[in-house]
């Protein structure tokens, strides 16, 4: 399980996913079907996300299947951006359509 911030044209969202990486072709395709064709993704420590989101994390995780799936944990860009320090974010992954 991974947690990460996806920086999109309309602002950041926080997702949970069972994909191995944020540039996995299937994850990119799922995001594309949601209108996200270009993004910057950065993984976050799962324990930090659990601690900040508490029961909301558990509810969303309970809805997440363990095979190739994703869920949006928070789509309030302000909350997502200010809940985590840059130092907590992993090296960013850049994805855009060819």
Q: Give the sign of the dihedral formed by CA 40, CA 44, CA 48, CA 54.
A: positive
Residue 64: predicted pLDDT? 56
**Would you place residue 11 in the very low, low, confident or very high pLDDT band (cuts 50, 70, 90)?**
very high
Would you kindly state where each structural domain of the chain is located, as residue ranges? Answer: 2-96
pTM over 0.75: yes
**Would you place residue 63 in the very low, low, confident or very high pLDDT band (cuts 50, 70, 90)?**
low
Average pLDDT over residues 1-22: 94
Average pLDDT over residues 53-66: 78
Average pLDDT over residues 37-60: 93
């Amino acid at each position: 399980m991974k947690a990460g911030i996806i920086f999109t044209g309309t602002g950041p969202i926080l997702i949970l996913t069972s994909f191995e990486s944020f540039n996995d072709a299937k994850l990119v395709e799922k995001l594309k079907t949601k209108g996200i064709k270009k993004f910057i993704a950065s993984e976050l420590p799962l324990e930090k996300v659990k601690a900040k989101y508490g029961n909301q994390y558990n509810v969303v995780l309970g809805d997440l299947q363990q095979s190739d799936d994703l869920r949006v944990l928070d789509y309030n860009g302000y909350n997502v951006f200010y809940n985590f320090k840059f130092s907590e974010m992993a090296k960013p992954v850049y994805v855009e359509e060819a």
